[in-house]
Amino acid sequence: MNPKKLFLAFLAAFVFIFVFGFLWYGNLMHGIHNEVPALWRTEADFGSHFPWLILGHAVMAFFLTMIYVRFVPAGGVASGVGLGIMVALLFIGSNLITFAVQPLTTKILGGWMVGNLLEFAIAGAIVGAIYKPSTTATV
Amino acid sequence: MKRFLLAFLAAFVFIFFWGWLYNGVLLKDIYVQTSSLWRPQSETMSLFHWIILGQAILVFAFVMIYASGFAGGGIAAGIRLGIMVEILAIGARLMMYAVQPLPGKLVLYWSVGGLIEMIVTGAIVGAIYKPRVSRTP
C-alpha cells in the first residue's frame, strides 16, 4: 500500500463526489425531489444535519479508495472505472429496493440510478488515475 | 461459472430472508412510527418484484467484485469485502439521514443489520466461490 497516494486518491474522490452530489442531486434533481416534499427535511433542518452529509461523503470516498487498493493493487484508470461500475450496481440495487418501500417517483429512481453510475464510474477513474502502489526495488 | 452461480444463489437466498426477518419483522415497529416516509404495505407488495430485482443486482455486483479482485482469499477475504462494502453503504446512509427526516435509531439499526448481512454474505461467497486453477504442464 502507498499511503501518500491513497490519501491523495481519497481526497480527489471526496471532492469529486461532493461536487457531483451538489450538482446532480442538489441542483439538477432539485425540482424532481420536490415532487414528494414529505420525504425530505426542511431547509433549516437539512442545514443542521449538514455535517452528516460531509461525513457520509468522506466515508464513501475513503472506502471506495480502500476497496480499489485491495481490488486492483496494480492501479489504472480502466480498472478504476470497472470497479466504479460494479460499486454503482450495488447502489442501483439498493435504489430499486428503496423505490419499492418509499413513495419515490420513477423520475427520482431514474435520476438516482444514472447519477450513481456516473458518480462511481468517474470516482473510480479518478482513484485509478491517482493511486499507484509503492514500488519495491529488487536487487 | 458454476461456482459463481452457486455463490450468487446462496447469497441471494440469505439476503432475501435476512431482509425479510430484519426489516419485515424486527424493525416493523419503527417503520410503523415513521409511516409517512413509507409506502402503504399493499403498495409495497404490488412493487415487490423491484425488491427481488434490487437484491439480485446487489448480490450480483457483490459476487462480481469478489470474483474480480478478492477470489482466492476464501472466507476471510469475503468477510473483509463485506465489511468494506457495508461501511461504504453506511456513508450513503449518513447522506440519506442528512436529507430525509429518518430517526437516528433507524439509521443505526440499518447499519448494524447491514454489517451483519454483509459479513455473512461475504463469508458465504468466500466459502463457495473459488477461482479457476490453471494447470501447468
Contact B88, A58 (CB under 8 A): no
Are A67 and B57 within 8 A, CB to CB? no
Q: What is the pLDDT of residues B5-59, one digit of tens each?
A: 999 999 999 999 999 999 989 999 999 999 999 999 999 999 999 999 999 999 9
pLDDT confidence bin for A30, thresholds 50/70/90: very high
Are B98 and A58 within 8 A, CB to CB? no
ipTM for the predicted complex comes to 0.92
Residue A93 included in any domain: yes
Rounded mean pLDDT of A61-81?
A: 88
How big is chain B by its Cα radius of gyration, in Å? 17
Domain count across chain A: 1
Are B94 and A72 within 8 A, CB to CB? no
Residue A94 included in any domain: yes
Shortest CA gap B124–chain A (Å): 17
pTM: 0.92
d(CA A100, CA A112): 14
Residue A135 included in any domain: no
Residue A73 included in any domain: yes
Q: Which three cell numbers stand for residue A13?
A: 474522490
Residues of the domain holding A121? 3-130
Rounded mean pLDDT of B111-118?
A: 97
Is residue A103 less than 8 Å (CB to CB) from chain B?
Answer: yes
Q: What mean pLDDT value characterizes chain A? A: 92
Q: What is the pLDDT of residues B44-91, one digit of tens each?
A: 999 999 999 999 999 999 999 999 888 888 999 999 999 999 999 999
Rounded mean pLDDT of B125-131?
A: 91
